[in-house]
Structure 1
Amino acid sequence: MKHRYIVVEGPIGCGKTSLAHKIAHHLDASLLLEDTASNPFLRQFYQDMRRHALPTQLFFLFQRVEQIGSLRQPELFGAKPTVSDFTLAKDPLFARLTLNDAEYQLYSRIYDHVKPQVPVPDLVIYLQASIDTLIGRVNKRGLAMESGISEDYLRRISDAYSRYFYDYDESPLLIVNSDRLNFVDVPEHFDLLVERMNAIRGGREFFNRA
């Protein structure tokens, strides 16, 4: 496999974790998942975003740096490829949405200091989905801590991802419209995705199913 470090990214509810599991199983790869449950501030954040935004964001930043930074260790980033459901690049997207200007300036100084510690993915799969699809998937999984997520917040997150990946050039990028694709339950859809992953050489490509 030419891609040693593959990341699946996208807004809340796009299906990135399920797809990361599927790809990792297919490639017999190591799986690196975002550990949202261990963030002690997250539940309070969804109840009062303004009050708890800074500690929530800083906890995630240091957690993600530690997780991704571990890939630089040869014994952890060895024979098997690694598939992850997050990048460090997602962190400032959420920070810009939730922090005030003074907090964001502090956050940005810390982010710029720690960013060089993490490796760049060999391939990023960016999952897009409509707001209705995102809302439906969030409601379907029924996580208590996500019950306070509003449609407006999901829309702002989705827009932030779109703006970020519009100019993204750090890695080969496969942009996938996932509204009509079910990679977990429809083998044909997953097989088509694997074909596109294997064929991509650089730059950006688009994968959509009418």
Structure 2
Amino acid sequence: MKYRYVAIEGIIGTGKTSLAQKFSSDFNGKLLLEEFDENPFLPLFYEEPQRYGFPVEMSFLAERYHQIKSKIQTKDLFQPIFSDYIFEKSLLFAHLNLSEDEYALYKQIFKIITNSLPAPEVTFFLYKKPEIALENIKKRGRSYEQNITIDYLDDLQSQYIGFFKQKLDWRVIFIDSSNLDFVSNNHDYDFLCSLLNREFNEGITRIIP
């Protein structure tokens, strides 16, 4: 494969973690996963978002920073890294979840630490219709996610798209995954695997399977 640091992104319920796990297993890679269960504020945030928005975002920021700093700075040149997030998602969720004053403070802290972290060599963005993503969220049954709305997912997807349009020096692959089942369908998964061997230009590449 052509890339040593691959990030999988998308809104909640798109299968980011499942794809990162399959890639890591099949390509003998290191795996970086969001540690939702380690964030004590997350269930509280979904109950009272205005009260717990700032602590939940700061907790995620610290966890993502320490994970990337410890695992990627010491990466094995012969072992690829697969992650189910980009560090910059911290800023996108904060913009969506925090008040104006809270976001201004958060952004200052984010800028201080982000310069020391590497960007992925390629990012797969799993585009999925919010209605389908919400169905997936309901199916997996995490109690604290059951209040997520289609409007929230739609706003989040807009945040991602706007961000990636500005990252002209990144390789970002927009994949319409609304009709893909890469967990159960080998043909769909093999198609995504083939993308790891393709040379992509910087900027956004749109792929409709």
Whether the TM-score (by the shorter chain) exceeds 0.5 is yes
1:206 corresponds in structure 2 to 206
Structure 1 length-normalised TM? 0.94
Work out the CA distance in 2 between the residues paired with 1:77 and 1:126.
25
1:104 corresponds in structure 2 to 103
- How much has 1:80 moved relative to structure 2? 1.1
Runs (5+) with no aligned partner, structure 1 = none
1:52 corresponds in structure 2 to 52
Tell me the amino acid that sits aligned with residue 197 of structure 1: L
Q: How does 1:1-210 map to 2 (within 5 A)?
A: 1-74=1-74, 76-203=75-202, 204-209=204-209
Deviations 1:98-147 (A, max 9, x none): 11111111101100001012111111000100011111110111111111
Work out the CA distance in 1 between the residues paired with 2:137 and 2:167.
26
Structure 2 length-normalised TM? 0.94
Alignment partner of 1:54: what SS?
Answer: helix
Deviations 1:4-56 (A, max 9, x none): 11000011011111111111112111111010111111000000101100000
Work out the CA distance in 2 between the residues paired with 1:32 and 1:5.
10
Alignment partner of 1:12: what SS?
Answer: coil
Runs (5+) with no aligned partner, structure 2 = none
- How much has 1:78 moved relative to structure 2? 4.3
Tell me the amino acid that sits aligned with residue 7 of structure 2: V
Tell me the amino acid that sits aligned with residue 4 of structure 1: R
Aligned length: 208
- How much has 1:72 moved relative to structure 2? 4.2
Tell me the amino acid that sits aligned with residue 193 of structure 2: V
Moved more, 156-165 or 102-111: 156-165
